[in-house]
Structure 1
């Protein structure tokens, strides 16, 4: 199977590198391209056996599974460009949440699915979110699910939870990185610890936390109960967190949903449905 990636920005590059480093595909079975070819060339320099396509049409013509890793408002233009070379046995995969599989199916005759990756997939971890088009063959469903098991935990989701699921698995690392940085900054401002030491300690703590959860030693709730001894120091910190965070995360999801709805309207205007 030949994998094609159209668009090698942040997520396109992460996807290409994860699939290769996770031994899901070999570099020789992948072809990539980007509007600015120098970005794609950077990836080829790392994996010399990978093929660099001159444009989207060349990639779509030579690949079996074609990943569209471009901005949402560029997807329709790419679909219209590559449609003449899309035979029925190919599969088009979008990685962007505002565009539904139904909208893409309205423009092409091949199998269609959406796979929303996460930056955590670069570490061969985290979740990838799957949605399948009505015409997507069982063979393609099984093939891509198996492929992504090498770099993630693939999970099929319903259309109505696409945004919140994407917020958790795809945006979540950025949200929590922001909180962690605030945690570090607070320690530096209020105590004698320096930035580098605080960052090192916090990073190692997070890695350890991840391992505890991964190895099923604790759940999030039981871990908190183990550390938060009644009347202890941790409890005092938890009181502050309860008081200060309040409905913060409700507001986060409210804001992302509002932005998503705006994107949906713009995409509907483009696709006409």
Structure 2
């Protein structure tokens, strides 16, 4: 019977645990959580599932897989604090910008990185995974199985992680920001209320996603299907095609810069160890 350990209990850790329990991939007694502060989120979980183990760092040595779910700048400290008995446990970091190379300098454990996505809360979205050299086939397969419970798992080269994270992990935020602006534009340019605009767009988004997935359409094919020659949708699509490339290039420039800043902060903090 495998045991899953988790250090830190923020929204992503909560999403993972809730999905594993809901899909009956794990029972509550197979989950061990260590966290510095007992948040409401954790207390609610414990309330619903008494058998979940809230434990000390030392007790985590008994785990088969250990997910480190703390902010990027705290990851290396956590690794340094792990008891020596935890050295054979497959450790999975969910932080942005902390590279496998960096992680492996702080531990002898088999290491993997996993970038979660908020959309897995509803059982969809792509989980990005990259493995360190010491992760064996058994570890890889187990991680794949655990993450497959609530997402599509894609293993990619680590140097593509930052660009890909924009499309898997950050994109729900980007999409929400984009459609917030579209809703406001509708209100500025018509008698529609903001509530109506939100509702109409939300269902359009949901439906578009379903059509893309279930019919296997590309974005371009979807544009063609909705936009008749010389019609209204085509006019609107043209405005986006003209103005959006610059906006999205800027988005990539800014986010990549942020990843680099974060990496240099992690390097700086690491030097002072």
TM-score, reference length from structure 1: 0.93
**Cα distance in 2 between the residues matched to 1:217 and 1:137:** 34
Q: Does structure 2 conserve the Cα–Cα contact (< 8 Å) formed by 1:86 and 1:108?
A: no
Which residue does the alignment assign to 2:69?
69
**Cα distance in 2 between the residues matched to 1:233 and 1:47:** 53
Q: CA RMSD in A?
A: 1.8
Q: CA deviation at 1:152?
A: 0.6
Secondary structure, counterpart of 2:5 in structure 1: strand
Q: Does structure 2 conserve the Cα–Cα contact (< 8 Å) formed by 1:121 and 1:151?
A: yes
Q: Does structure 2 conserve the Cα–Cα contact (< 8 Å) formed by 1:41 and 1:52?
A: no
Which residue does the alignment assign to 1:49?
51
- Count of residues paired in the alignment: 270
Relative to structure 1, the CA distance from residue 133 to residue 232 in structure 2 (aligned partners, 3 Å threshold; closer, same or farther) is same
**Cα distance in 2 between the residues matched to 1:41 and 1:56:** 19
Q: Does structure 2 conserve the Cα–Cα contact (< 8 Å) formed by 1:113 and 1:131?
A: yes
**Cα distance in 1 between the residues matched to 2:61 and 2:160:** 33
User: Structure 1, unaligned stretches of length 5 or more?
Assistant: none
Secondary structure, counterpart of 1:4 in structure 2: strand
Q: Structure 2 matches for 1:180-219, cutoff 5 A?
A: 180-219=179-218
**Cα distance in 2 between the residues matched to 1:83 and 1:267:** 22
**Cα distance in 2 between the residues matched to 1:247 and 1:131:** 30
Deviations 1:161-202 (A, max 9, x none): 110011110001100111011111111221121222221111
Deviations 1:237-272 (A, max 9, x none): 123223332411011011111111111122223445
Q: CA deviation at 1:217?
A: 4.8
Deviations 1:4-44 (A, max 9, x none): 11111122222222222233322221112322113422222
User: Structure 2, unaligned stretches of length 5 or more?
Assistant: none
Q: Does structure 2 conserve the Cα–Cα contact (< 8 Å) formed by 1:66 and 1:91?
A: yes
Deviations 1:49-104 (A, max 9, x none): 32222x4443x22322111000111111111111423142x111100121112222
Deviations 1:218-250 (A, max 9, x none): 221111001011111111212322333241101
